[in-house]
Amino acid sequence: MVLLLFNKPYGVLCQFTDESTGPTRPTLASFIDRPGVYPAGRLDLDSEGLLLLTDDGRLQARIADPRFKMPKTYLVQVEGDPDEAALERLRRGVRLKDGPTLPARVERIEAPALWPRDPPVRFRKSVPDCWLRLTISEGRNRQVRRMTAAVGHPTLRLVRWRIGDWTLDGLAPGESRVAAETSGPKGAR
């Protein structure tokens, strides 16, 4: 069993091949040279941060399957300056088109010391922004972005910092490290 932690850069597909008919986009193959590992979960093209890859199907399912409710923590730069009422709505759960979300843990934080994003987040002098630390325990498509938009504060930058006990600490964009490696039978695919 192998478990890799990878800091997915902005604009990289969470797959090993780009099957689109448009311009070629960078994929995991540009960064991960370890056969037999697959992402446990996804990160959108325009999101950054922690992605776990494994060759163990059971571990992959446990990490990615919403039934296991593995907490995922994001550093989120949002447009505007959310008041306590907006944060409380996130804490209670918000209604999205596909139903209500589970409650999130959320707090306002100082701007984290992150790497520069390429391309940079758009900056507008007349519109403030704010950073949040937001933890969810489900994994719907673009969920954090949809949640912040639902409370009136669209996401400008989204960095997944933690999944369960694994964090991005010490990993620069495009870097990976082995978190666990054991020999023996792999889990079922």
Known catalytic residues are: 44
Report the candidate in 108, 40, 117 with the shortest Cα–Cα distance to residue 78.
Answer: 108
Question: Using the 8-state DSSP alphabet, how is residue 102 labeled?
Answer: P
Q: What angle do CA 104, 108, 113 make, to 5 degrees?
A: 115
Rounded Cα–Cα distance for residues 35 and 32 (Å): 8
Residue 29 neighbours by CB under 8 Å, 6+ apart = 16, 17
Give the relative orientation of helices 143-150 and 84-92 as an angle to the nearest 10 degrees.
Answer: 130
DSSP symbol at 67: G
C-alpha–C-alpha distance, residues 25 and 17, integer Å: 9
| AA letter at 181 | E
